[in-house]
Every structure is written in structure tokens, then in C-alpha cells.
């Protein structure tokens, strides 16, 4: 397993999974919306259309640990389709870490979609340990097959309103919200100013080309963020920024 060390705070030695979890547990208010992305050094959010070409072992390890710290994993439909998401099932070690931290054994899975173009027979729904939520709009087409396998939650008329989305999750006692993307959803969350934290893995790659960034879409104001933590694993940096007050 690749070593991960803490640069900020400056700690000696490599970190085990518990120490990495502690690193990401400080400063959290309630509710708390964290987003997690990986980017190349030159700002690309994908290689050949997917993020999987960017993340190395350290990124994958932290990606998994972040899922052990939340009530709900929030992902937009574009990322679910492109990255080929399966069921949100954490392994036994992750379940043990969650239970030790006072969380339910498995996180809820909430998918944001305006079109409801999601396959109800896919593993995302068919093998889900917790009935997933699909967050959508009043103008979405009716999809009884999807409604049979997921709770359909309406948050907005023609686009999902992030403020209503957070409210709907909090009403379900899902206050530790962990968003895994993608860029369009992150743009909408930023525009509504509901993002409390960005975890960003900077991967030691120069990608070039016309890959998108981690955010798509306009945001009304430039947002200042405070650096809350830095982990390092060989040439990879794992940065943690929180809302600046
Ligand atoms: N580098 C990284 O860490 C990272 C992480 C995640 C994803 N990605 C990459 O990002 C790319 C996908 O980009 P994307 O911008 O299409 O991603 P996305 O944000 O995952 O998905 C966009 C889709 O999500 C739904 N959606 C998002 N916001 C919505 C809103 N406010 N209201 C209603 N629906 C909303 C819509 O789904 P419907 O079409 O169903 O209406 C929309 O078409 C992929 O290449 C993926 O690999 C990279």
C-alpha cells in the first residue's frame, strides 16, 4: 500500500486509514456538504472522458475513506452514466469504520437527474443495500419503473435547486453530504453557495487537450476558500479546502 503523509498539519510518519479519516473529520459543521474531485496538474478533470485515468492508489484510498464518513453519497446522473457506477455497497472494513463512527452501516445514495434517464434494472438500484434517492424536478418525465426501485424526490421546477436538495437530505437526517461530482452538479452547487468543502486530489499528470475542469457552468461570485489540510503521497497531493468566512 502506498504511503500517505500529512503535510498540513505537519505529522511524522505515514497515516493509517483511521488517521486519514480523522484528517477529514475536523471542522465539519452540520449540515456539511463536501465535494471530492481529482484533477491533473494542468486542470483536466478527465482523461479520455473519464476521471479514472487521473486517480492513483492514494486517490482511490481517500475516495473510499471519504465514503466511510458520510450519511449520503450524492452523484449527478452524468457521472453515474459515464463512470459506470454500480451499487453503493461498502466492504466489511468500511462498514466497521462507519459503525465505529456512529454512522449507519451503508451510506444512502442520492442521484441528481432532470431527465430520469437511469436504468432501473442496473446494479445501482437492483443491488442497493439502501433504497436510493433520485433527486429531480417537477418537469421530469414520469418514470414508474424508476419509482419502483428508488424514492423520487422533487427539488425544483425545471432544474434541481441545490438549496432544496440540501433541505430534502437534511429532512431525512442525511446531514453529512458527500458529493462525488460531476462538474455540472458542482457548478450548480457552487452557484447556490451550498458547498462547504472541496477535497481535491492533484494528480502528477499533464493531460493537455480540451478536457473539462472540475466545475462546469457560471457561478455568480468568485468564492474564497481556506486551506484546511494537505496530504501527500509520493507526487500526488490531496488538498482539503473549506469555506472561508
Ligand atoms: N475528475 C473528477 O473527479 C470527476 C468526478 C466526477 C465526474 N467526472 C467526469 O465528469 C464528466 C461528466 O460531466 P457532467 O458535467 O456531465 O457531469 P455531472 O454533473 O455528473 O452530470 C450532469 C447531469 O446530472 C444531472 N444534473 C446535474 N445538475 C443538475 C441540476 N441542477 N438539475 C437537474 N439535473 C442535474 C443531469 O442529468 P440528466 O441528464 O439525467 O438530466 C445532467 O445532465 C465525466 O466525464 C466524468 O468522468 C470527473
Top-tier CATH class for 5-14+29-41+51-243: alpha beta
pTM of the model: 0.98
| Whole-number average pLDDT of the chain | 96
Tell me the three cell numbers of residue 185.
452538479
Ligand 1 atom at minimal distance to the Cα of residue 162: 31
How confident is the model at residue 28, as a pLDDT?
Answer: 66
Q: How sure is the predictor about 95, in pLDDT bands with cuts at 50, 70 and 90?
A: very high
Measured from CB, residues less than 6 Å from any atom of ligand 1 are 37-39, 45-46, 49-51, 54, 76-79, 82-83, 112-115, 117, 159-160, 181-185, 188, 214, 216
- At 147-201, the pLDDT tens digits run 999 999 999 999 999 999 999 999 999 999 999 999 999 999 999 999 999 999 9
DSSP code of residue 14: B
Distance CA(190)–CA(219), nearest Å, equals 6
What is the radius of gyration, based on Cα positions, of the chain? 17
- At 107-152, the pLDDT tens digits run 999 999 999 999 999 999 999 999 999 999 999 999 999 999 999 9
- Residue 65: which of 6, 14, 15, 21 has the closest Cα? 21
- At 201-223, the pLDDT tens digits run 999 999 999 999 999 999 999 99
Sign of CA dihedral 172, 245, 189, 104: negative
Element (DSSP H or E) covering residue 192: none
Residue count (the chain): 245
Ligand 1 atom at minimal distance to the Cα of residue 79: 20
* Ligand 1: centre distance to CA 30 (Å): 25
How confident is the model at residue 245, as a pLDDT?
Answer: 79
Give me the residue spans of the domains in the chain.
5-14+29-41+51-243
How confident is the model at residue 27, as a pLDDT?
Answer: 61
* Ligand 1: centre distance to CA 91 (Å): 26
- At 14-49, the pLDDT tens digits run 999 999 999 999 666 799 999 999 999 999 999 999
Distance CA(110)–CA(3), nearest Å, equals 32
* % of the chain surpassing 70 pLDDT: 99
Amino acid at each position: 500500500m502506498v504511503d500517505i503523509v500529512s503535510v498540513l498539519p505537519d505529522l511524522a510518519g505515514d497515516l493509517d486509514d483511521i488517521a486519514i479519516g480523522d484528517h477529514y473529520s475536523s471542522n465539519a459543521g452540520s449540515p456539511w456538504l463536501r465535494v471530492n474531485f481529482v484533477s491533473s496538474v494542468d486542470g483536466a478533470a478527465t482523461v479520455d472522458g473519464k476521471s479514472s485515468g487521473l486517480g492513483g492508489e492514494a486517490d482511490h484510498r481517500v475516495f473510499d475513506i471519504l465514503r466511510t464518513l458520510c450519511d449520503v453519497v450524492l452523484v449527478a446522473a452524468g457521472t453515474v452514466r459515464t463512470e459506470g457506477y454500480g451499487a453503493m455497497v461498502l466492504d466489511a472494513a468500511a462498514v466497521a469504520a462507519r459503525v465505529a463512527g456512529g454512522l449507519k452501516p451503508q451510506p444512502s445514495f442520492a442521484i441528481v437527474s432532470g431527465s430520469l434517464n437511469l436504468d432501473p434494472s442496473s446494479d445501482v438500484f437492483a443491488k442497493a443495500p439502501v433504497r436510493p434517492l433520485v433527486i429531480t424536478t417537477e418537469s421530469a418525465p414520469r418514470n414508474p419503473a424508476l419509482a419502483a426501485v428508488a424514492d423520487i424526490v422533487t427539488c425544483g421546477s425545471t432544474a434541481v435547486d441545490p438549496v432544496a436538495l440540501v433541505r430534502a437530505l437534511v429532512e431525512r437526517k442525511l446531514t453529512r453530504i458527500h458529493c462525488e461530482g460531476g462538474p455540472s452538479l458542482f457548478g450548480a452547487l457552487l452557484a447556490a453557495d451550498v458547498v462547504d468543502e472541496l477535497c481535491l486530489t492533484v494528480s502528477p499528470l499533464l493531460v493537455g487537450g480540451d478536457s473539462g475542469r472540475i466545475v462546469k457552468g457560471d457561478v455568480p461570485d468568485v468564492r474564497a476558500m481556506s486551506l484546511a489540510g494537505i496530504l501527500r503521497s509520493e507526487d500526488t497531493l490531496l488538498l482539503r479546502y473549506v469555506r472561508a468566512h
